[in-house]
Amino acid sequence: MTRDEIIEIATKVYGECKWHESALQHLQIFAQLIAEKEREGCVKRANIALLGTLTTTTDRVLKAIRTRVQE
């Protein structure tokens, strides 16, 4: 998620305001943590749904998701 996207979302929540650098840094960290949890959840759901039925393509997709989770 880009900084501008984070500011756009935060503005929807908090309304128009001037974002100080420290506040933006906290928002970026928060967004990264949320994204990480969402990716972990996607991997877990995919593993459960596809247990025992992995195709080559599905396996590549899951590996790509796992790689992003580790970033």
Q: Which of 39-43, 59-63, 64-68 has the highest mean pLDDT?
A: 39-43
Instruction: Give me the number of domains the chain comprises.
Output: 1
Q: Work out the percent of the chain whose per-residue pLDDT is above 90.
A: 13
Cα gap 26→24, rounded to integer Å: 5
Predicted confidence (pLDDT) per residue in 26-55, tens digit: 999 999 899 888 888 877 777 666 666 666
Say if residue 65 is exposed, middle or buried (CB neighbours under 10 Å; 0-12, 13-18, 19+). Answer: middle
Q: Is the pTM of this model over 0.85?
A: no
21: containing domain: 3-70
Cβ distance 63 to 37 under 8 Å? no
